[in-house]
Structure 1
C-alpha cells in the first residue's frame, strides 16, 4: 500500500491504541500473534492489512461518589484495509472495514460520581458489536484530492485527536465530547462523504457531509439504517501542518466549523424547536524539542491545545477547553512517554437556569456547573504490541454542584494481536 493511503489506515488504529504515529508510516504493525508463518507480511505486501486490537481501561475512585469501586471497560476492534491499487490496479483507491465490540462497566454511573466526562473514555454507546467503518477513499490529481465515501465516524476526519489520555475530555474529536447526541465519534458510524483538497504541501481544506440519523445510536450490528434521518451535518475544516527547525519540529493546526440542519429542542424554552445546530473548534499540536540522532522522530517535548464552542440554544454543554504537554523518550526508553493535561467543560447557563426552574417546581434534578480536571499518565511501551498506561485523574465534577471532588486511579492497556 502506498505510504500515504496505508499510513492513514495505520494512524486510525494508532488512535485507538493511544500512541503517537505518523501518517507516513509504512511498516507493518506488530502483533502478539507474530507473522503467522510469514503469511501476515505476505498479505501486507499484497495490499491486505489485517489488524486486531483490544483496549482496556481500569478505573478506581479513591475519592468521590457514593463508595469505592474498581470498574473495567474495553473495546475489541477487528479491521481489514485494502490497497486497491496493488490488489486490482485501481490507482489511489483504499478500502476500510472495521468492526468494534465494547464491553464492561461505567465507573461514572456505578458510583454516582456526578461528573460530565467519562473517566473511561472507551466506555459508551452500548456493550454491543458495531459496524464502525465501511468506506472507500480515492486519491485524484497527483494525490492532492481525497474523496471518501461510505460509513465513517465524524471524529476520524473532523477535529480528530488521539486518545493518549483516559479521561474523555482529552480524547478524540472534542465536539463529540459535549454534543455527542448528534456528533458521533467512534464507534458509531453514519453514511457520509468527505472531500479534502491539499492546497499546498503543508495546508489543506476539507468539507464533509454526514447523515444525521438518531437510529445510528440503536444497539446492534447492521450495515446501515436507510430511514429516520433528521438532517445533514456539514463540517468545514482548514488545516496547517508546518515543520520548523529544519523539518525537525512538526506541528498540526486545525480550525473548523459545523452546521447541522436538524431541528432540536431549546434547552430552556419548553416546546420551542430551533432550526439547526452549530459550533466551532480549534486544535493545535506542536513538537517543541527534538532529540538528535534517534530513530523515533517524536522524541522530545510537545504541547497541545483545543477548544470547542457550541450554540447556546440547543447544547447543554456549550464549551470545552483543554491544554496539555507530553515528553517522549523518558528514562532512556525511546518510545515511553509521559503526559499531563488540564481541562474544563462549561455547562450552558441557559440549561442551568432550566434545571433550577425544575428544582424550584419540586424536582430533585441535580444542578450542573463547569467541570475542571487534570490527568497525569506514564506510558510504558512494554513490547511493540503492548502499551500499559497508568494514570491519575483529579476532577471537580460538573454534573452535580453538590458532588464531591473525585480522585481516580486508572490503567489503560492496548494489545495488538
Structure 2
C-alpha cells in the first residue's frame, strides 16, 4: 500500500528478510434472527517475519518463520448464543481481544533438493494439514483456515492463532505427490486465561498428550492451461483422555444416573478434501475458477461433532478488467455427535435448561451459506462485501435462521 515501504521490502528480500505488516477488519450486521440490527466489529493487526538463512549466513535450505497478531472486537455470533464452530467473523477466532499474541515461531529445513522438508518449533497444525489457500476467501469461521469441526472436535488440532510445540516431515515421492506426518503437543487450555492467552508461554506443563496427523496429497496440473488441483486425505490420532459424552464409568447413560461421565482414551479424526481449477483466468496460482468440496469425521463418543461437509466455488479474475477480484460461494453443514444428542434429549426430557455442549435444546446440525466478492481497490488494499445465511445457529432448531451482511477490509503495507 505504501510504495516507499514496498521498495524497501524488496531490498530486504534480496538479503533474505521478508517482513509483512497487515490489517484486517471484519464487520457483520444481523438482519433478522431475533437480533435484527445487532452488529459486530473485529480486527487483526499482523506482523510476519520470514528469514532465509541461506542468504543471510549461507545455511542452505534453512528458513525461520514468526507471526504475531493483535486481535480485538466483538463476536456477533455470541449475541445469538451460538457457541459452535459457526461465526460471522473468522478473524475473531482463537480467543480474540488480546494485545499481542505470538502465533508461531518455527524453522524449516529442506533436504535432498527439496524432496524432504522438516519443520520444528511452536506452530499450529493447520498450517500444514487439512488446509487450503481457498478457505479464507470466505468470512464465516466454519471453514476459514480449516474445517472448524477438526479443531472444535479435538484439542490436539491446534489452529491459527493457537500453537503448540511440534514437528512435521514432508516427503515428495513423485512430482505432485507427497506424504507428510507430524507430532504436536496437546494443550486443552490453548488461547485461554487458564494457560496461554498471549501465546508466549513456552512450557509444556499443561500438555495432556500428543497429536499425530498423517496426510497424503496430490497436486496435479492438467492440460496446456495448467489447471491445478489439490487433493488430500488425512488421518490423525489425539492420545489425550477425554470425557465420554454419553456413558458413565458403569456403561450407563450418565444423564440418567447422575454419575460422572467416564474417561475415554484418544480420538481419531479423518478428512478428505479437494479443489480443482476448471478455467484459468491468468497465470497467478489462484487466478481461475475453482470447485472445492470436502468431508471431515470425528469420533462421536467423546466430542461435540461427528461430521462436516462443504462445497463451493471460487473465481479469481473472472473479469479481465478486474484480474485480482475474487468471487466465492460456499455451503457447509456440520452434524452434532449422535452420543451428545442422546445425552441432550435425556436432559431435555428431565426439564434441564442448560444442556451439554453449551446448548439450550438438543442439537442436530448447523448449516451455512455464504456469497462474497473481494474487490481489489489498489495495491495493498481490498474491500469485501459479504452475505451469510445460517440455519440452526448453535445446531439448534429452536433458534431462528439468521441473515447477515458483512464487510471485510484488508490492507498490506
Using the size of structure 2 for normalisation, the TM-score is: 0.89
Name the structure 2 match of 1:348.
337
Q: Which residues of 2 match residues 164-243 of structure 1 at below 5 A?
A: 164-174=137-147, 175-176=149-150, 178-179=152-153, 181-218=155-192, 219-243=197-221
Which residue is 2:130 aligned to?
159
Name the CA shift for 1:406/1:113 in 2 (closer, same or farther; >3 Å).
farther
Is the 1:213–1:229 contact (alpha carbons within 8 Å) kept by the matching residues of 2? Answer: yes
- For 1:75, the equivalent position in structure 2 comes to 44
Are the structure 2 counterparts of residues 194 and 44 from structure 1 closer, same or farther at C-alpha, using a change threshold of 3 Å? same
Does the CA contact (< 8 Å) of 2:215 and 2:235 recur in 1?
yes
1:108-164 CA distance string (max 9 Å, x none):
112435765111111121311221111010001111100000011111101112311
Which residue of structure 2 lines up, in the alignment, with residue 246 of structure 1? 224
Contact kept? 1:155, 1:176, Cα under 8 Å: no
1:148 aligns with 2:137: no
Match of 1:4?
Answer: none
| Distance apart, 1:342 and its partner CA | 1.1
Contact kept, 8 Å, 1:385 with 1:416, in 2: the verdict is yes
Deviations 1:355-402 (A, max 9, x none): 122222332132212112210011101112012111111111242220
Question: Residue 385 in 1 paired to residue 380 in 2?
Answer: yes
Whether 1:299 and 2:287 are equivalent positions in the alignment is: yes
Q: Structure 1 residues 221, 242: CA separation in 2 closer, same or farther (over 3 Å shift)?
A: closer
1:30-75 Cα shifts (integer Å, max 9, x gaps) = xx23333843222111000111111111111101144421111111
Moved over 6 A (4+): none
| 8 Å Cα contact 2:393/2:401 also seen in 1 | no
Alignment partner of 1:56 is 2:9: no
Conservation of the 8 A alpha-carbon contact between 1:60 and 1:70? yes
Could you tell me which residue of structure 1 aligns to residue 97 of structure 2?
127
SS of corresponding position for 2:290: strand
C-alpha RMSD of the superposition:
1.8
Conservation of the 8 A alpha-carbon contact between 1:265 and 1:273 = yes
Which 10-residue stretch deviates more, 301-310 or 397-406? 397-406
- 1:344-383, aligned counterparts within 5 Å? 344-365=333-354, 366=360, 367-383=362-378
- Deviates further, 390-399 or 307-316: 390-399
Contact persistence 2:155–2:187 (CA under 8 A): no
Q: Report the Cα distance in structure 2 between the residues aligned to 1:221 and 1:255, rounded to whole angstroms.
A: 30
Q: Which whole-Å CA distance do the structure 1 matches of 2:85 and 2:210 have between them?
A: 27
Residue 217 of structure 1 deviates from its aligned partner by: 2.7
Q: Partner of 2:390 in structure 1?
A: 395
CA distance in 2, matches of 1:172, 1:116: 12
- The 3-state SS of whatever aligns with 1:403 is coil
How far apart in 2 are the matches of 1:190 and 1:115?
A: 23
Report the Cα distance in structure 1 between the residues aligned to 2:275 and 2:286, rounded to whole angstroms: 12
* Pair 50,263 (structure 1): closer, same or farther in 2 beyond 3 Å: same
Question: Helix, strand or coil for the counterpart of 2:31?
Answer: strand
Tell me, in whole angstroms, the C-alpha distance in 1 between the residues paired with 2:109 and 2:160: 22
- Extract unaligned runs of 5+ from structure 2: 248-253, 255-260, 355-359
Deviations 1:265-286 (A, max 9, x none): 0111242111101110011011
* CA distance, structure 2, for counterparts of residue 189 and residue 221 of structure 1: 7
SS of the residue 2:114 aligns to: coil
Q: Which of 297, 305, 320 is matched with 1:309 structurally?
A: 297
Aligned residues: 384
Gaps of 5+ in 1: 1-31
Paired position in structure 2 for 1:337: 326
- CA deviations on 1:217-250 (whole Å, 9 max, x unpaired) are 3312415223111100000000100000125200
Tell me by how many angstroms 1:298 deviates.
3.7
**Cα deviation digits, residues 324-381 of structure 1 (max 9, x gap):** 0122223431111211111101111211111122222332132212112210011101
Partners of 1:191 and 1:382 lie apart in 2 by 39
Asked whether 1:277 is paired with 2:267, we answer yes
